[in-house]
Amino acid sequence: MVMQFEFAAAGRVLFGPGRIRDAGPIAAAMGKRPLLVVAQGLGSAVPFADQLRGQGIEPLLFAVPGEPEVSAVVKGVQQAIAAGCDMVIGLGGGSALDAGKAIAAMMTNEGELADYLEVIGRGLPLLRPPSPYVAIPTTSGTGTEVTRNAVLASPEHGVKVSLRSPLMLPRVAIVDPELTHSVPPEVTANTGLDALTQLIEPFTCGRPNPLVDALCREGIPRAARSLRRVFADGQDAEARESMSLASLFGGMALANAGLGAVHGLAAPLGGLTHGPHGALCARLLPLVMEANIRALQSRAPGAPQLARYQEVARLLTGNPAAAAADGVDWTAAICSDLSIQPLSRHAMREEDIPAVVAQAQKASSMKANPIALTDEELAALLARALR
């Protein structure tokens, strides 16, 4: 069998406690007037801005309230160009990093943002490399510091869509686990389970990649043994480090293999409910795993993904004799332990299910699911997720 695969990540990745201190000199080598994109209320923005000033560069601060919307990116581009910014730094969770990534792309490409957006726009390819972009995550979840797309909300369309291009991989990613120590338990749970999802889905998807497999085999057990610890004690440095690494590996994995029905459903759910992306993924994860395993056993019993789900169970539980169903049980148990809420808590209603299913079936993430789930299968798992 001929093996073919592709692998790409940020141009440079710096990982470890205290690596935030390298950001100033790195930025100074790239430009003199950065747009600093942060989450609204992020306390670490002020000392970081001072670090940049100590390197002789003056940042323009741009705060993103909540998950990034298309309008926020347009505003950020306008402010960056008006101020003569020559680079972008994203500091925060996935929302700030995605916004920064999209702003950097649109600072150098002509036309309107809508020209390049999937689903609601024309989906044109970016023609020019973005402004230099440095991504610095302060949560362990999305892995967007090493991915090639930015997820943006369009409230008027009621959906989340992607701006996507290989050119959008950040120039530098700086992953400092110490920046995650102050993240509150609820956000820690949501983002951490998103990181786990982004390791399980690429490992079991229909686009196997040996480099991705290696990252997932290392990342899944790290997340499994650390999630409860960071939820109980945010200052657990060892567990925080493992979760930061798991998140980084998950970002690399999804960018180079694919995702699945969890993210295929989470995209329209996010546009509908405005619930936190990680919370939606967490509630769906065990149900999608169960549905995929059942469908594979019924319609494709010889599929290699069944053995992958068995391996996931062994990585999660540490039990070399675990069966695929044991992985589902482990995932459901940790979602309960970390107080993951049903979809009804995010204002989803049973009458929303058909529309969510219809949109999910069109999502790019759904194309990599290990088996095509029917509308009825997706509707049934969503009904369970409501409770």
Q: Tell the burial category of 227 from Cβ atoms under 10 Å away from its Cβ (0-12, 13-18, 19+).
A: buried
- On whether residue 130 sits in a domain, the answer given is yes
Residue at a domain's end among 163, 179, 195: 179
**Is residue 2, in this structure, part of any structural domain at all?**
no
> Of 122, 152, 179, which marks where a domain is finished?
179
Q: What is the pLDDT of residue 92?
A: 95
216 and 249 share one domain: yes
The reply to whether 5 falls in a domain is no
Q: What percent of the chain has pLDDT above 90?
A: 89
| Residue 186 near residue 282, CB atoms below 8 Å | no
Same domain, 267 and 371: yes
Distance CA 32, CA 236 (A): 37
**326 part of a folded domain:** yes
- If asked whether residues 274 and 143 sit together in one domain, one would say no
The helix (H) or strand (E) run that includes residue 278 is helix 277-299
- Encode pLDDT of 4-28 as tens digits: 888 999 999 999 999 999 999 999 9
In a domain, 28, yes or no: yes
Q: How high is the pLDDT of residue 4?
A: 84
Domain termination site, one of 179, 207, 234: 179
Q: How far is 363 from 151, CA to CA, in rounded Å?
A: 13
Helix (H) or strand (E) run with residue 330 in it:
helix 324-337
pLDDT at 1: 57
What is the pLDDT of the chain when averaged over all its residues?
95
4 is a domain residue: no
Domain that residue 111 falls in: 13-179
> Which residues of the chain fall short of a pLDDT of 50?
none
pTM above 0.85, yes or no: yes
One domain for residues 124 and 220: no
CATH of the domain at 97: 3.40.50.1970
d(CA 300, CA 283): 26
The pLDDT of residue 158: 82
Question: How far apart are alpha carbons 296 and 228 in whole angstroms?
Answer: 30
Is residue 250 within 8 A of residue 270, CB to CB? The reply is no
